[in-house]
Chain A
């Protein structure tokens, strides 16, 4: 197990290195100037600005310098936000995004799994169709439509929740629901399919024969095995939820990371693009590892072992 983990961590670092390098060079291929006032500056002024930020160096030199800094934990300073350190920028913005993402993930997964299990147990009844309908709608309605509808009907018309901003718990409820609809539909669909398959397997028939109640069969015996595919898809989904959704953050005016990342690409704020990419990639790689470890906990038949194939 330890050997396996060490090997995995080595591979993770290698992956991260490749991601950082590729992003760096691809980013430098985007044409354009990172200085917002560039239109007003003359050539000399622009050259002086470029020199200040080391952008006059050849790209490979910039790359080496950047990598050296990253290894020392220095992600540089933002161009668009007057020299604010990138780490500080991300640290402050990830709070709202992560809070919403975690809430949506927890609410979405639990609700989705329950929906899926009910659909599987009551196959071909109105409950099954109802849950399928929710899942299909959740997956097919674009999130900007869903978020805007929630905002308009629940907040503007009914006034049950605040329309926008980020000042406390009640401000997080609508954006959480808007974000959760996707994990709900994913979890429900996968759960239903898996559950139906698992429910027809021999050990379930045995459990039933031994007189276990259908509730006990579903949640004690079947759920565990049916969870594996769900965990596989939900892991990476969790990362994308935690790192912020452009759409939901825009609609509810949440000062999160999703919006900021997209803006940083548009204005070519190189250090912010890189810093955010590193964070996303690291989180993603880490979650994949966690998912693998979870497999062995959920299903003891899967054993983690290092390289004796």
Chain B
């Protein structure tokens, strides 16, 4: 019996020790709140608290270092830039007092900053905060990737500062006075204000950042905020649970309803749905395909077409793929409808285009980009076979073998197998060798042009068709398929220079460029445009998502009955 009591004692000690090591200081609070929720209150005093699930912890809170949507989303809610995205996906002035003054050439923007905008430590938000953050983003020692990516070629002097070690002060961003920021551009950028809603362009409080040094942005206490919320509880980029609290110093605080937002990292989509169903959270992360059909008729499922397009890149260093008929045959032989209906089954739609639907509209007519350009490279088995035969004849062969590079996730494999099967079945003499590799490997092989066909996708970072169009210019940073068309390059150049200040003309030129890319050149095979689906509790009012950069805004949200 002695042994038993010893065992018991050990177990007791261990369990006391262990109950001390949960990160559970918020646990009791949480329970109280839950009880509050259940006790049927009136709409006016429903606790304004929201519980959200995200797919990862927050990797970065230093605006210049972030490169992922979860960081961008958090920044969008606890910080603020000159502009914000509205619920209608329009950039609207935020820290900027009204629209900026723009010179005639469209190259100098003068922004006035709101007088009453302050940081959460009481400092006013000044023009210098922007200058400081942007210069920091272009310092190679900072390790920013989005800084050079978004600024080079747009803001004057950005390239020289980043690449050639030019003095940071030569950057075309100057604080004229405390509340006036003057930005000089390399060339007119018609979507420049929409970039100002992107977190990389947000201000940083120089005194605070320098005081924190290495520790800056390493947890909630080493940050200073100027947005609708503050990070109330965040223990650094490994923290699986974090909370926002309303920022009472925010200039528009009276229009922010939520008092508290709790976030949890949930990697498994099924877990997210289970937690939602059990009432432990109000908003799920994006549902995986397999979960979508069971909620198809559920009014609480919120769905929207993302401006993310998936396509197959055709590497033109491959001899067969240099042939336009072969490329066209491949492009015409995939039944995309069958793919989106049977394999994806999540509301994604077939893409017969390179610039997505419901993304941008013609500034003159308000027409969607797709209205005038319609469908191109639609599934057409007859035409595909015809082009294939012609192509083979021109090549002087009757068999072609192509390597197909795809992702290694379960859903990527299903899609790739379907496509490979379609191609082989529909085009006689074609053999596809499927290679499934992790994302980072695919990027490497993309850069090295070490593939024949590659399944890839693109989500834009700003609201302009050029974010898709400039992928395909000769030797473009993302071309990586040896595609080169003088006509295409010329159209892009026209759009960027000749028509830089004629938005309607520019838009039409980019539409023409897409026609060249697909109809004349069959350079890529567009496959589908993705739909996002998430579950949102019916109590949540004015849930707001965005197409580019940050994914969600929580300040318009309130909790109803």
Residues of chain A touching chain B, judged by Cβ–Cβ distance below 8 Å, are: 30-45, 48-49, 51-53, 78, 80-84, 88-89, 92-93, 95-96, 99, 102-103, 106, 110, 148, 151-152, 155-156, 159, 162-169, 171-172, 219-220, 249-255, 259-260, 266-268
* Min CB–CB distance A227 → chain B (angstroms): 12
Q: Please state if A163 and B24 are interface contacts (CB–CB under 8 Å).
A: no
Q: Please state if B65 and A82 are interface contacts (CB–CB under 8 Å).
A: yes
Most buried by B among A43, A48, A88, A164: A164
Q: Which listed residue, A38, A99, A164, touches B275 by the CB 8 Å rule?
A: A164
Q: Please state if A163 and B145 are interface contacts (CB–CB under 8 Å).
A: no
Given A38-B145, A81-B238, A171-B24, 9 other A-B residues pairs in contact with their CB atoms under 8 A:
A32-B443, A36-B145, A88-B236, A163-B280, A164-B274, A167-B24, A255-B238, A255-B241, A255-B265
Within 8 A of A (CB), among B40-71: 53, 57, 59-62, 65-68, 71
Given contacts A37-B67, A93-B238, A250 and B22 within 8 Å (CB-CB): no
Q: Please state if A164 and B438 are interface contacts (CB–CB under 8 Å).
A: no
Q: How far, in angstroms, from A39 to B445 measured CA to CA in the complex?
A: 11
Q: Please state if A255 and B57 are interface contacts (CB–CB under 8 Å).
A: yes
* Residues on A with beta carbons closer than 8 Å to the beta carbon of B59: 36, 80-82
Q: Which residue of A lies closest to B148 (CB)?
A: A45
* Residues on B with beta carbons closer than 8 Å to the beta carbon of A34: 440
Question: Is B237 close to A, CB under 8 A?
Answer: yes
Q: Which 8 A-B pairs have the closest CB atoms?
A: A255-B240, A32-B440, A82-B60, A168-B24, A168-B27, A42-B477, A37-B67, A81-B237
Q: Please state if B14 and A106 are interface contacts (CB–CB under 8 Å).
A: yes
* Residues on A with beta carbons closer than 8 Å to the beta carbon of B439: 32, 266-267
Q: Please state if A163 and B271 are interface contacts (CB–CB under 8 Å).
A: yes
Can you name 16 A-B residue pairings with CB atoms under 8 Å?
A31-B444, A32-B441, A37-B145, A44-B163, A52-B141, A96-B240, A99-B21, A163-B275, A164-B280, A165-B280, A167-B27, A168-B28, A171-B22, A171-B24, A255-B265, A268-B440
Q: Which listed residue, A40, A152, A156, A254, touches B145 by the CB 8 Å rule?
A: A40
Question: Is B421 close to A, CB under 8 A?
Answer: no
Q: How far, in angstroms, from A255 to B234 measured CA to CA in the complex?
A: 13
How does the 8 Å CB contact mask read for B419-454 relative to A, with 1 for contact and 0 for none? Answer: 000000000000000000011110111100000000
How does the 8 Å CB contact mask read for B264-296 relative to A, with 1 for contact and 0 for none? Answer: 111110110011011010000000000000000
* Residues on A with beta carbons closer than 8 Å to the beta carbon of B440: 31-34, 38, 266-268
Question: Is B235 close to A, CB under 8 A?
Answer: yes
Q: Please state if A151 and B274 are interface contacts (CB–CB under 8 Å).
A: yes
Q: Please state if B67 and A36 are interface contacts (CB–CB under 8 Å).
A: yes
Q: Which listed residue, B19, B22, B240, B443, touches A33 by the CB 8 Å rule?
A: B443
Q: Which residue of B lies closest to A107 (CB)?
A: B11
Q: Which residue of B lies closest to A262 (CB)?
A: B267
Q: Please state if A167 and B149 are interface contacts (CB–CB under 8 Å).
A: no
Q: Please state if B23 and A96 are interface contacts (CB–CB under 8 Å).
A: yes
Question: Is B140 close to A, CB under 8 A?
Answer: yes
* Residues on B with beta carbons closer than 8 Å to the beta carbon of A43: 477
Given contacts A48-B162, A89-B238, A251-B271, A169 and B19 within 8 Å (CB-CB): yes
Q: Please state if B274 and A155 are interface contacts (CB–CB under 8 Å).
A: yes
Q: Which residue of A lies closest to B153 (CB)?
A: A42
Q: How far, in angstroms, from A97 to B86 measured CA to CA in the complex?
A: 41
* Residues on A with beta carbons closer than 8 Å to the beta carbon of B163: 44, 48
Question: Is B239 close to A, CB under 8 A?
Answer: yes
Question: Is B30 close to A, CB under 8 A?
Answer: yes
Q: How far, in angstroms, from A39 to B457 measured CA to CA in the complex?
A: 11
* Min CB–CB distance B243 → chain A (angstroms): 12
Given contacts A81-B59, A169-B22, A254-B240, A164 and B445 within 8 Å (CB-CB): no
Residues of chain B touching chain A, judged by Cβ–Cβ distance below 8 Å, are: 3, 7, 11, 14, 18-19, 21-24, 26-28, 30, 53, 57, 59-62, 65-68, 71, 140-141, 143, 145-146, 148-149, 152, 162-163, 217-218, 235-241, 264-268, 270-271, 274-275, 277-278, 280, 438-441, 443-446, 461, 477-478
Q: Please state if A48 and B57 are interface contacts (CB–CB under 8 Å).
A: no
Q: Please state if B145 and A53 are interface contacts (CB–CB under 8 Å).
A: no
* Min CB–CB distance A248 → chain B (angstroms): 11
* Residues on A with beta carbons closer than 8 Å to the beta carbon of B146: 37, 40
Q: How far, in angstroms, from A190 to B277 measured CA to CA in the complex?
A: 41
Q: How far, in angstroms, from A267 to B236 measured CA to CA in the complex?
A: 19
Q: Please state if B24 and A159 are interface contacts (CB–CB under 8 Å).
A: no
Q: Which residue of A lies closest to B140 (CB)?
A: A48
Q: How far, in angstroms, from A151 to B146 measured CA to CA in the complex?
A: 40
Q: How far, in angstroms, from A168 to B22 measured CA to CA in the complex?
A: 6
Q: Which listed residue, A172, A255, A259, touches B239 by the CB 8 Å rule?
A: A255
Given contacts A151-B271, A156-B278, A255-B57, A167 and B477 within 8 Å (CB-CB): no
Q: How far, in angstroms, from A253 to B272 measured CA to CA in the complex?
A: 9
Q: How far, in angstroms, from A152 to B443 measured CA to CA in the complex?
A: 38
Q: Please state if B280 and A167 are interface contacts (CB–CB under 8 Å).
A: no
Q: Please state if A167 and B238 are interface contacts (CB–CB under 8 Å).
A: no
Q: Which residue of A lies closest to B64 (CB)?
A: A82
* Min CB–CB distance B442 → chain A (angstroms): 8
Q: How far, in angstroms, from A251 to B267 measured CA to CA in the complex?
A: 8
Q: Please state if A155 and B22 are interface contacts (CB–CB under 8 Å).
A: no
Given contacts A41-B149, A41-B477, A152-B274, A32 and B238 within 8 Å (CB-CB): no
* Residues on B with beta carbons closer than 8 Å to the beta carbon of A159: 278
Q: Please state if B438 and A266 are interface contacts (CB–CB under 8 Å).
A: yes
Q: Please state if B274 and A156 are interface contacts (CB–CB under 8 Å).
A: yes
Q: Which residue of B lies closest to A32 (CB)?
A: B440
Q: Please state if A251 and B141 are interface contacts (CB–CB under 8 Å).
A: no
* Min CB–CB distance A162 → chain B (angstroms): 6
Q: Please state if B278 and A253 are interface contacts (CB–CB under 8 Å).
A: no
Q: How far, in angstroms, from A162 to B14 measured CA to CA in the complex?
A: 23
Q: Please state if B274 and A84 are interface contacts (CB–CB under 8 Å).
A: no
Q: Please state if A99 and B18 are interface contacts (CB–CB under 8 Å).
A: yes
Q: Please state if B218 and A103 are interface contacts (CB–CB under 8 Å).
A: no
* Residues on A with beta carbons closer than 8 Å to the beta carbon of B265: 253, 255
* Residues on B with beta carbons closer than 8 Å to the beta carbon of A219: 3
Q: Please state if B66 and A166 are interface contacts (CB–CB under 8 Å).
A: no
* Min CB–CB distance A167 → chain B (angstroms): 4
Q: Please state if A82 and B22 are interface contacts (CB–CB under 8 Å).
A: no
Q: Please state if A260 and B238 are interface contacts (CB–CB under 8 Å).
A: yes
* Residues on B with beta carbons closer than 8 Å to the beta carbon of A266: 438-440
Q: Which listed residue, B28, B145, B238, touches A84 by the CB 8 Å rule?
A: B238
Q: How far, in angstroms, from A22 to B231 measured CA to CA in the complex?
A: 41
Q: Please state if A45 and B268 are interface contacts (CB–CB under 8 Å).
A: no
* Min CB–CB distance A48 → chain B (angstroms): 5
Given contacts A41-B148, A102-B14, A166-B23, A84 and B278 within 8 Å (CB-CB): no
Q: Please state if B438 and A32 are interface contacts (CB–CB under 8 Å).
A: yes
